[in-house]
Amino acid sequence: MENGAVYNETTEPQAKPPRRPFGCTRRHLPPWRLSAKAFQAILSLLAVICEEIVEDCIKCGGLYVFEFVSCSAFLLSLLILCVYCTDIYETFGEDKVQRMNFLAMPVIGACFLLASIVLVATSSGSAVEGAAYVFGFLASGAFLAEIIIERFHSRKQTLDRCSENHGNTQSATENQPLNKQS
């Protein structure tokens, strides 16, 4: 008994869940959200690249603001995409990740829209600056569109849940008296 023979026959080692490569998964992102996140990151990156190509600027303040916002938006969109696609999602929990996404997307979209407007106002008219603020407007639209689509989906799910719960119907068995009265 000292060698643990009693327990060896009846106990089995606990099976470890299979490891995913780098902990990556797409199960937390519906296809529409994955494409929206990828689109946001790509448009933000294109805005950063176009802004970096600008060689001369007359009023550089707007370009610097746009540079900061577009680079920040790109990095934040990649960070949020990584949170959704890795084991960090389970660590933080679905509620916290959803709330962070729901708060971050409109702020990023509004800041990107404002920075694009500032770049348009201070632009010297070069084609590269024009491409940068066009990608800025498209990216801000992508960030804001995700919030609108998410709001639509959450509203639809709420309505579906309400329609499943028929409320207080008279034919329901829980509403019938326990003892039938004659």
DSSP codes joined into one string, 94-124: HHHHHHHHHHHHHHHHHHHHHHHHHHHHH--
Higher-confidence residue of 78 and 87: namely 78
Residues 57-83: pLDDT tens digits? Answer: 888 888 999 999 999 999 999 999 888
Would you kindly state where each structural domain of the chain is located, as residue ranges? 26-158
| Burial (CB count within 10 angstroms: exposed 0-12, middle 13-18, buried 19+), residue 69 | buried
- pLDDT given for residue 77 in this prediction: 92
Supply the pTM of this predicted model: 0.71
- pLDDT given for residue 70 in this prediction: 94
- pLDDT given for residue 118 in this prediction: 94
- pLDDT given for residue 10 in this prediction: 59
Share of the chain above pLDDT 90, in %: 35
- pLDDT given for residue 139 in this prediction: 94
- pLDDT given for residue 72 in this prediction: 95
Residues 127-181: pLDDT tens digits? Answer: 999 999 999 999 999 999 988 988 888 888 788 777 765 555 555 566 666 776 6
Answer whether residue 1 shows pLDDT above 70: no
Share of the chain above pLDDT 70, in %: 77
Higher-confidence residue of 169 and 23: namely 23
Higher-confidence residue of 84 and 138: namely 138
C-beta contacts of 113-116 below 8 A and 24+ residues apart? 113/137, 113/140, 113/144, 114/69, 115/62, 115/65, 115/66, 115/68, 115/69, 115/70, 116/66, 116/140
Listed residue (99, 53, 115, 47) closest to 75, CA to CA? 47
Token pair of 34, please? 């994955």
- pLDDT given for residue 98 in this prediction: 87
Per-residue confidence at 89, pLDDT binned at 50, 70, 90? confident
- pLDDT given for residue 154 in this prediction: 80
